[in-house]
């Protein structure tokens, strides 16, 4: 038995292995509704043996979308299409979660392959963005600071989206507090210069995230796993740091989360990052040890042996991968083959199991 292919139980869900699919935006939705692309894209990972598939950053309000092509969960139509996708995943023996998100000051942007870049103008379908403070992201349109009523509306948006996610049958929920989006914007001193109860101290900067985690847990009930994705560092002087992420991770667990999915960056436009295999794994280890919480590690993890070593080292309890799943939607089956792990294969693929 390998660590990578040992099951992991969070609350009422037991995931068949610890090689999971990171949420990855497809920028292919229409009015927040997932399309046939999403259905095929996500279902293939279940056939490929993923332990958990986390669907892309899904906006809890229209204004929370990163781009006009992002998926959403603010309407029943969106919920119903997501439910069909969940059913597809379950039919293939997989489990699926969804990342609930609000992009804050990084909303209303063009999708990556658009001819234009930066913020989408209002006359082309863009909208006014909101943030903890009126500090725009470099190169993006001005943003507005949220007042108390606006913050309450954000919490209500997460609550409504959680209800729809539960109704759609998702196996896990992830609160997106990373990559420079709204909840990370509150956590980082670089984007949060408020002087009220949501700014200043780490406890104040984490207040909105923890309110939302508590709300999601209350609505999800006692059985459904809740994950929180954090960026452990801003890669900038005066920004959010791993030791703070460990503390916030511990608070998140105390407020009802079950695992911290540790990533990095997103607050500044041009961070100096030394990309290398597993470059974010040390952050997961710091959060796991410092916060004494279960973690997921991510970041250029591309092989079975590498993923196994992440778990063996004690850095994390699960391994997320992104690009490698895009290159090979059957990454888990290949990894099991390479490690000699006994796993269930789809009967249609059995001929490839050993030879």
Tell me the pLDDT tens digit for each residue of 215-238: 999 999 999 999 999 999 999 999
Q: What is the DSSP string of 203-214?
A: HHHTHHHHHHHH
What are the beta bridge partners of residue 109?
A: 119
227 contact partners, CB below 8 Å, separation of at least 6: 54, 97, 172, 173, 174, 175, 257, 258, 259, 260, 261, 296
For residue 116, tell me if it sits in a domain.
no
Per-residue pLDDT of 79-116, as tens digits, reads 999 999 999 999 999 999 999 999 999 999 999 999 99
Per the structure, the complete domain to which residue 62 belongs is given by 8-110+122-352
In a domain, residue 169? The reply is yes
How many angstroms separate the most distant Cα atoms in the chain?
A: 63
Catalytic choice (27, 181, 198, 235): 181
Contacts of 355 (CB under 8 A, 6+ apart): none
pLDDT confidence of residue 33:
98
Q: Is residue 79 part of a domain?
A: yes
Q: Residue ranges of the chain with pLDDT lower than 70? A: 355
> Per the domain annotation, does 2 fall within a domain?
no
Q: b or e along 194-205 (b: 16 or more beta carbons within 10 Å of the residue's beta carbon)?
A: eeeebbeebebb
DSSP secondary structure string, 162-179? HHHHHHHT-SEEEEEE-T
97 located within any domain: yes
The answer as to whether 89 is a domain residue is yes
Q: What phi and psi, each to the nearest 5 degrees, are found at residue 321?
A: -135, 155
Asked if residue 3 is part of any domain, the answer here is no
Q: Which is it for strands 8-10 and 13-15: parallel, antiparallel or unpaired? A: antiparallel
- Whose tokens are 């919480």? That residue is 293
pLDDT at 355: 62
Please give the Cα distance from 344 to 197 (Å, whole number).
Answer: 51
**Residue 181: active-site member:** yes
CA–CA distance, 115 with 168 (Å, rounded to integer): 35
pLDDT at 123: 95
**Residue 295 gets which letter from DSSP?**
E
For residue 181, the domain's CATH number is 3.20.20.70
159 domain residue, yes or no = yes
The span from the CA of 331 to the CA of 45, in Å, is 8
**pLDDT for position 353:** 83
Q: How many domains does the chain have?
A: 1
Structure tokens that stand for 257 in this block: 């989360």
């Amino acid at each position: 038995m390998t660590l990578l292919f040992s099951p992991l139980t969070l609350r009422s869900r037991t995931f068949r292995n610890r090689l999971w699919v990171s949420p990855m935006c497809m920028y292919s939705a229409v009015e927040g509704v997932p399309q046939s692309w999403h259905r095929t894209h996500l279902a293939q990972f279940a056939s490929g043996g993923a332990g958990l598939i986390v669907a892309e950053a899904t906006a809890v309000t229209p204004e929370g979308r990163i781009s006009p092509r992002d998926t959403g969960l603010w309407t029943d139509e969106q919920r119903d299409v997501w439910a069909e996708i969940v059913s597809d995943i379950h039919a293939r023996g997989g489990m699926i979660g969804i990342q609930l998100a609000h992009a804050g000051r990084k909303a209303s942007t063009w999708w990556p392959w658009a001819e234009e870049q930066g913020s989408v103008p209002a006359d082309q379908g863009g909208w006014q963005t909101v943030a903890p403070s009126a500090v725009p992201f470099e190169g993006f349109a001005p943003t507005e600071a949220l007042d108390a009523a606006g913050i309450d509306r954000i919490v209500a948006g997460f609550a409504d989206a959680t209800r729809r996610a539960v109704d759609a049958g998702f196996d896990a929920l992830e609160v997106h507090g990373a990559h420079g989006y709204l909840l990370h914007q509150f956590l980082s001193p670089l984007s949060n210069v408020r002087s009220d109860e949501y700014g200043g101290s780490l406890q104040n900067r984490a207040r909105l995230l923890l309110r939302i985690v508590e709300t999601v847990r209350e609505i999800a009930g006692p059985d459904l796993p809740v994950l929180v994705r954090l960026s452990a560092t801003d890669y900038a002087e005066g920004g959010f740091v791993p030791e703070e992420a460990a503390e916030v991770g511990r608070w998140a667990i105390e407020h009802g989360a079950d695992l911290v999915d540790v990533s990095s960056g997103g607050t500044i436009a041009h961070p100096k990052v030394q990309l290398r295999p597993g470059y974010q794994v040390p952050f997961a280890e710091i959060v796991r040890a410092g916060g004494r919480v279960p973690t997921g590690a991510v970041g250029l993890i591309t092989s079975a042996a590498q993923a196994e070593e992440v778990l063996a080292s004690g850095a994390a309890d699960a391994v997320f991968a992104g690009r490698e799943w895009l290159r090979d939607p059957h990454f888990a089956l290949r990894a099991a083959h390479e490690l000699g792990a006994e796993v269930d294969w789809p009967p249609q693929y059995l001929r490839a199991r050993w030879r």
